[in-house]
Amino acid sequence: MNKQILLNKRPQKIMTSDDFKLEIVDIPKLKDGEVLLKNSYLSIDAGFRFWMNEGSGNNILPAMALGQPVQGIVLGTVIESKNPSYKQGDKLMTRSAWQEYSVITAENDTVYPLPTAWECDDSLYLGVLGETGMSAYIGTVDMGQLKQGDTALISAAAGAAGIVAGQIAKINGAKVIGITSSDQKSQKLINEFGFDRCLNYKSSTPLSELIADECPNGVDYYFDSVGGQMLEDAIANIAQNGRIALCGAIASYSSLEPQLGPKNLFNLVVRQASMKGLMTHYESDRYDEMRGQLFKWMQQGTLKNAESCFEGIEHAPAAFCGMFTGNNFGKTIIKL
């Protein structure tokens, strides 16, 4: 039998576990060209919240259908194959759904064999060596162009992408300031992950003022997972020739109304600063290069993995909701 998590209701501003439903169905029979995967991990990704909204479909994903399994990235082992490209025992990652078994159709063009070049736990390929880790890499290495003494400001610093971005910025010689929701997370980032300082965006002092106090010469690089007011606060403090990597916009995924952009974009003009989006999915030809460097840093001990791992598919809804209420630390995964 195949346990699945369905999208039961369209989540509103505050998402709850009731928006999801566990269902047990038969494991489907394979057609020619298809592969059956027994999943060992589900990747829980904040970005998928966006495609739960009505009419949210775009060139990356269609809007998720009500009553259908929640879309997400899985990692599993082939247990049956009617596709000559894959054999029993192959480990694959693919965009599929929150379920224990996935059928990969012949048309699915998001199937990646688990790399074998680096000896490590499979779960790392969903986190530090996965899309979130590589998003941090593209932002911080390629777009950050950091030099010794630069100031790097990292949003959602205790999340999967942010915690890697902060550590890469440190490796590249920057003073690293994280933004997070609690003093407990801040202490962990400073004591265990090498951040220099952290700002609590829930403090009574406006974040823009906290940034200005901490970064008197401005922010040379901002890694943005959040968008909204936080992006505006970073732009207010951007340094001359500063760089902003737009990785995500978690503050707006739950919003049912179109969001206004930052009101202070003219700051980018006068400070000759740049702001650019990134989409890791389109850089798959560079995955080996990026994973190679990330793994090397891990071996050297300058990059640490951080994971919130929950066991059992029934925990996927609560784990996902927790990413929007500050409950996770590092990469959130479900072990099946």
Ligand X SMILES: NC(=O)c1ccc[n+]([C@@H]2O[C@H](COP(=O)([O-])OP(=O)(O)OC[C@H]3O[C@@H](n4cnc5c(N)ncnc54)[C@H](OP(=O)(O)O)[C@@H]3O)[C@@H](O)[C@H]2O)c1
| Among 94, 186, 305, 328, interactor with ligand X by CB under 6 A | 328
Q: How far is CA 329 from the centre of its chain?
A: 12
| Among 306, 324, 333, 336, interactor with ligand X by CB under 6 A | 324
Structure tokens belonging to residue 178: 């994280």
The reply to whether 167 sits near ligand X by the rule CB under 6 A is: no
| Among 4, 7, 15, 47, interactor with ligand X by CB under 6 A | 47
The reply to whether 326 sits near ligand X by the rule CB under 6 A is: yes
**CB 326 to ligand X: min, Å:** 3
Counting Cβ atoms within 10 Å, is residue 212 exposed (0-12), middle (13-18) or buried (19+)?
A: middle
Q: CA–CA separation, 84 vs 90, rounded Å? A: 12
The reply to whether 333 sits near ligand X by the rule CB under 6 A is: no
Given the rule CB under 6 A, which of 18-26, 69-77, 298-306, 323-331 is the region that contacts ligand X?
323-331
The reply to whether 248 sits near ligand X by the rule CB under 6 A is: yes
Q: Strands, DSSP E only, in 26-149?
A: 35-43, 71-81, 91-97, 101-104, 112-113
**For ligand X, what does the binding mask look like between residues 173 and 192, x meaning CB under 6 A?**
-------xx---x-------
| Among 52, 73, 158, 303, interactor with ligand X by CB under 6 A | 158
Q: Which residues, 6 or more positions from 166, have their beta carbon under 8 angstroms from its beta carbon? A: 152, 154, 157, 176, 178, 189, 193, 194, 195, 223
The reply to whether 215 sits near ligand X by the rule CB under 6 A is: no
For ligand X, which is the closer residue by CB, 240 or 325?
Answer: 325
- Give me the residues paired with residue 246 across strands: 224, 277
Query: If we measure between CA atoms, which residue out of 334, 335, 332 comes closest to residue 162?
Result: 332
User: Tokens 């966006």 map to which residue?
Assistant: 50
The string of DSSP codes covering 286-304 is GHHHHHHHHHHHHHHTSS-
The reply to whether 136 sits near ligand X by the rule CB under 6 A is: no
Q: By CB under 6 A, how many residues form the interface with ligand X?
A: 32
The reply to whether 160 sits near ligand X by the rule CB under 6 A is: yes
Question: In the complex, which residues of this chain contact ligand X (CB under 6 A)?
Answer: 45-47, 131-132, 135, 156, 158-162, 180-181, 185, 225-226, 230, 247-251, 278-281, 323-324, 326, 328, 332
